[in-house]
Amino acid sequence: MDIKRGTSLAAVAVVVALAATACGGNDKADATKPAGAASVQAPAADNYGSEKPAQQAGDAKPAGQLAIAATDQLGSVLTDSAGFTLYRFDKDTAKPPTSNCDGDCAKAWPVVAAGEVTAAAGMDPALLGEVVRKDGSKQLTVAGWPAYRFAKDTKAGDLNGQGVGGTWFAFAPDGKKAAKAAPAPAGAGQTSGALTVAKDPKLGDHIVDGNGMTVYRFKPDTAWPMVSKCEGDCVAKWPVVPPVDKANAKGIIEKNYLVLDRPDGKKQQTVNCWPVYTFTGDKKAGDTNGQGVGGTWYAVAPDGTLITK
């Protein structure tokens, strides 16, 4: 199976105009539009969704360029290149990867073939794999779980398979069941109005907020124009650092120390024009659990550069 260990551009761009004296550089990036939100269908009486599927399963098709779609009901869900939701089955197993959906089940839930596939932006490419089915064909897996589409999803963004039979669920980008992100824990993403520099044995000098929580940058962002490509569910997981007075920025360079006015109404601190964030996965001061996530999130040096070691 030819899995490209790369990531695509982030799903949504947030572009904000700034004063002329602001930031230098020429970083630019295109934005792609994610699949829209869709309503969730109540679980059906069986595991297949209907006795007569809306369409018969043909030859399994690969997923192509995966994407992460933001939905109102479930937060971020994983889709194929056409925007169709990908699902997992509770009666399968991930360790070892095993598919238990055959026959009529596979007609209602067409398997996603293991073939040309590229990880979505913000997704760990190592999560992608394959399993050999009973008929000898190969099926895509995400975090070990075999991947399927639902025959009654007739357009991009549909979520009609969610919860069917109490065993079928949309994939989250990490391979788990998609669900709304929980509120950020106390301290995560909530600064005390200060930025300082901390030392870490692996990262060296890096920026932390007033609570000692590690500060991160998102690689798809740009400094000129000043652009954040993290919004919606992304911001729920990677809260923006609110504005910090220069007097409370100890050890941080002052060049282009500006505030980004985001279209969602939030004001975000930048360091050398780069938008900065914290991570809800960091539970206590000194945690660096966001370092290297998806190959796109990294701690920030005092001069605003990425720390990639």
- What does the pLDDT look like over 117-126, one tens digit per residue? 999 877 888 9
Above 70 in pLDDT, residue 49? no
Per-residue pLDDT band for 257 (boundaries 50, 70, 90) equals: confident
Q: Are 181 and 201 a contacting pair, CB within 8 Å? A: no
Above 90 in pLDDT, residue 51? no
What digits encode the pLDDT tens for the residues 58-106?
468 999 999 988 888 888 899 999 999 999 999 999 999 999 999 999 9
Q: 190 or 150: whose pLDDT is higher? A: 150
The dihedral region occupied by 303, where left means phi > 0, alpha psi between -120 and 50, and beta the remainder, is alpha
Report, as an integer, the average pLDDT of 211-227: 92
Q: 225 or 89: whose pLDDT is higher? A: 89
Report, as an integer, the average pLDDT of 16-29: 43
Is-above-0.85 flag for pTM?
Answer: no
Average pLDDT for the chain? 80
Per-residue pLDDT band for 278 (boundaries 50, 70, 90) equals: very high
Report, as an integer, the average pLDDT of 145-172: 96
Distance CA 76, CA 74 (A): 6
% of the chain at pLDDT higher than 70: 76
Report, as an integer, the average pLDDT of 137-159: 96
Per-residue pLDDT band for 23 (boundaries 50, 70, 90) equals: low
Above 80 in pLDDT, residue 267? yes
pLDDT of residue 264: 81
pLDDT of residue 153: 96
pLDDT of residue 72: 82
According to DSSP, residue 129 is labeled E
Report, as an integer, the average pLDDT of 42-61: 47
pLDDT of residue 247: 79
pLDDT of residue 48: 55
What digits encode the pLDDT tens for the residues 281-309?
999 888 999 999 999 999 999 999 999 98
Distance CA 207, CA 298 (A): 11
Per-residue pLDDT band for 271 (boundaries 50, 70, 90) equals: very high
